Homo-oligomer: A and B are copies of this chain.
Amino acid sequence: MTATDRRSFLKTATAAGAGLIVAPQISKASVSKQKKKDGEVNIAFIGCGGRGRGHLYRAAKTEGVKITAICDIDPEAIPKAQKILTDNGHPKAEVYSNGEHAYLEMLKREDIDGVMIATPWLWHTRMAVAAMKAGKYAAVEVSAANTMEECWDLVNTSEETGKPCMILENVNYRRDVLAVTNMIKDGLFGEVVHGRCGYQHNLLNVKFNKDLKFGEGAKGEARWRTQHSLKQNADVYPTHGLGPIAHMLNINRGNRFLYLTSTATKAVGLKDYIQEQGGVDHPYAKLPWKLGDIITSVIKTANGESIIVTHDTNLPRPYSLGFRIDGTDGTTNFDMGTKRIYIEGKGKYDKWDDFQKWQDKYDHPLWKKYGDIANGAGHGGIDYFVTREFINSVKEQRQPVIDVYDAAAWSAVTPLSEASIATGSSPQYFPDFTRGDWIKRKPVEYK
- A residues with CB within 8 A of B: 190-191, 193-194, 202, 259, 261, 263-266, 268-269, 272-273, 292-294, 296, 298, 300, 303-306, 308, 312, 315-319, 326-331, 337-338, 340, 342, 344, 350-352, 424-427
Contact in complex: B191, A268 (CB < 8 Å): yes
Contact in complex: B265, A304 (CB < 8 Å): yes
Given that A294-B326, A352-B318, A427-B426 are known contacts, is A266 also in contact with B193, CB under 8 Å in the complex? yes
Contact in complex: A268, B328 (CB < 8 Å): yes
Contact in complex: B306, A265 (CB < 8 Å): yes
Q: Which 5 A-B pairs have the closest CB atoms?
A: A266-B304, A272-B328, A316-B344, A193-B265, A261-B261
Contact in complex: B202, A294 (CB < 8 Å): no
Contact in complex: B328, A342 (CB < 8 Å): no
Contact in complex: B328, A315 (CB < 8 Å): yes
Closest beta carbon of chain B to A434's beta carbon, Å: 21
Contact in complex: B318, A350 (CB < 8 Å): yes
Contact in complex: A191, B298 (CB < 8 Å): no
Contact in complex: A293, B263 (CB < 8 Å): no
Given that A293-B326, A326-B315 are known contacts, is A298 also in contact with B331, CB under 8 Å in the complex? no
Residues of B within 8 A of A342 (CB): 316-318
Residues of B within 8 A of A319 (CB): 350
Closest beta carbon of chain B to A189's beta carbon, Å: 9
The residue on B at minimum CB distance from A194 is: B294
Closest beta carbon of chain B to A419's beta carbon, Å: 13
Question: Roughly how many angstroms separate A340 CA and B335 CA in the complex, as a whole number?
Answer: 14
Residues of B within 8 A of A317 (CB): 326, 330-331, 342
Residues of B within 8 A of A191 (CB): 268, 272
Contact in complex: A337, B315 (CB < 8 Å): no
Residues of B within 8 A of A273 (CB): 328
Known: A194-B293, A272-B328. 13 other contacts (CB 8 A): A193-B293, A261-B261, A261-B263, A263-B298, A263-B306, A265-B304, A272-B329, A298-B298, A300-B424, A317-B331, A318-B342, A318-B351, A337-B340
Residues of B within 8 A of A331 (CB): 315-317
Question: Roughly how many angstroms separate A340 CA and B336 CA in the complex, as a whole number?
Answer: 13
Question: Roughly how many angstroms separate A107 CA and B425 CA in the complex, as a whole number?
Answer: 45
Closest beta carbon of chain B to A274's beta carbon, Å: 11
30 A-B pairs within 8 Å (CB atoms) are namely: A190-B272, A191-B268, A193-B266, A193-B268, A193-B292, A194-B293, A194-B294, A259-B425, A261-B263, A261-B425, A261-B427, A263-B298, A265-B305, A266-B303, A268-B304, A272-B328, A273-B328, A298-B425, A300-B424, A312-B326, A315-B327, A315-B328, A315-B331, A316-B344, A317-B330, A318-B342, A318-B352, A319-B350, A426-B426, A426-B427
Contact in complex: B350, A424 (CB < 8 Å): no
Closest beta carbon of chain B to A305's beta carbon, Å: 6
Residues of B within 8 A of A268 (CB): 191, 193, 304, 328
Given that A294-B193, A424-B259, A427-B424 are known contacts, is A316 also in contact with B329, CB under 8 Å in the complex? yes
Closest beta carbon of chain B to A439's beta carbon, Å: 18
Residues of B within 8 A of A338 (CB): 338
Closest beta carbon of chain B to A115's beta carbon, Å: 34
Residues of B within 8 A of A326 (CB): 293-294, 312, 315, 317
Closest beta carbon of chain B to A225's beta carbon, Å: 19
Closest beta carbon of chain B to A324's beta carbon, Å: 10
Question: Roughly how many angstroms separate A191 CA and B292 CA in the complex, as a whole number?
Answer: 13
Residues of B within 8 A of A351 (CB): 318
Contact in complex: B352, A266 (CB < 8 Å): no
Residues of B within 8 A of A315 (CB): 193, 326-328, 331
Given that A261-B298, A264-B306, A265-B304 are known contacts, is A352 also in contact with B340, CB under 8 Å in the complex? no
Residues of B within 8 A of A330 (CB): 316-317
Residues of B within 8 A of A264 (CB): 306
The residue on B at minimum CB distance from A333 is: B338
Residues of B within 8 A of A296 (CB): 194, 298, 306, 308
Residues of B within 8 A of A352 (CB): 318, 337
- From B193, B303, B306, B318, A269 is in contact (CB under 8 Å) with B193
Residues of B within 8 A of A259 (CB): 424-425
